[in-house]
Structure 1
């Protein structure tokens, strides 16, 4: 398109609905885990109400608190992977209950918090919160002018990052700033950072 500053071959994937990431963030706050670690994300903007004290008292909260940073690191690392274009087709063609299907599911979904924390960590409250987050994301996606979209607004910083390998931006609904390069092609930022052109450009700059 004449006059379009967007490089014709530049494709940037935006992921703001990484389920394993969102669920793990909810678990941290709803169970009041308060894990400690050198590189943990800030708290959620939409903070869930803590689960009832009696429910928390009956759960292995201390073990979950210790496991959370490790699980976060594994889930975040998987979020940085670029999915093979044919993985869904390969999954459909694999045999039920086969080792191949199990490996493909692991590649697609990634490490699960259930493996370390167990299904009890995700009660119905989690699904209600996830649904509310989905509704919030949908409301933010109402059509806006092309030049007002975050990637267009920060295009001068996005193009050099793309030249350095950036192909995916992962967004998390956490307060403040949390900007990390994960893998060779992915940048993770908070929703607030991506919504602010100056902050977004500042986050994109160090990708090279």
Structure 2
């Protein structure tokens, strides 16, 4: 049994940060709760931004990024990239397929001046709270539910650093949930039971 846990999905976290930092209110019926460690609101010191355009584009970018997070990447992509020249169109296309869509594809670095420091603080927080033994791993504490989900095709768990509970099946082999859900054995088991039911 092999389960991959992506606890730092960069493009998804970047989108959630943009939403919270710029107080976007996307017109989307299935949006995760706010970030557990919210960025400072009202980001200043940047060029004028078009909040309405951002708000309108956010749901589309979120949907595309979420679909990519739920895909199982073909390992042949990584082999193929080795056979391409640096900065060639072929390599750029393969890299785009591997990394998937992102906010930066549409808007560049605009609005992200304070994202890097926030992201670095999140990395320090996550690494400071890592389990120190196998028995403390969330997957070990919810092993029965994990095995059942795996039998129904689960191979990938993607977590986002949002408050409260939010769990969604995002592909035939992937499940999205909050860090908080994964950290709580009972909530994690319940989330895993959503897969394949």
**2:131–2:137: 8 Å Cα contact kept in structure 1?**
no
User: Which of residues 127, 131, 136 is equivalent to 2:125?
Assistant: 136
Which is worse superposed, 46-55 or 186-195? 46-55
Q: Does 1:154 align with 2:145?
A: no
CA distance in 2, matches of 1:110, 1:97: 17
What SS does the aligned partner of 2:73 have? coil
CA distance in 2, matches of 1:52, 1:81: 33
> What corresponds to 2:96 in structure 1?
106
Q: Does 1:40 align with 2:26?
A: no
CA distance in 1, matches of 2:82, 2:38: 38
Q: Does 1:74 align with 2:67?
A: no
Residues 1-208 of structure 1 correspond to what in structure 2 (within 5 A)? 10-52=1-43, 55=46, 58-123=48-113, 125-144=114-133, 146-208=134-196
How high is the TM-score relative to the length of structure 1?
Answer: 0.88
What SS does the aligned partner of 1:180 have? strand
Distance 1:52 1:199, change over 3 A: closer
Matched residue count: 196
Structure 2 unaligned runs (5+)? Answer: none
> What corresponds to 1:4 in structure 2?
none
How high is the TM-score relative to the length of structure 2?
Answer: 0.93
What SS does the aligned partner of 2:145 have? helix
Shift of 1:206: 1.9
Structure 1 unaligned runs (5+)? Answer: 1-9
What SS does the aligned partner of 2:162 have? coil
Shift of 1:100: 2.0
Shift of 1:54: 6.9
Distance 1:42 1:94, change over 3 A: same
After superposition, give the CA deviation of every residue in 1:123-157 in whole Å (9 maximum; x if it has no partner).
Answer: 1x10000111111111122523x222100111111
After superposition, give the CA deviation of every residue in 1:180-202 in whole Å (9 maximum; x if it has no partner).
Answer: 11111000110110011111111
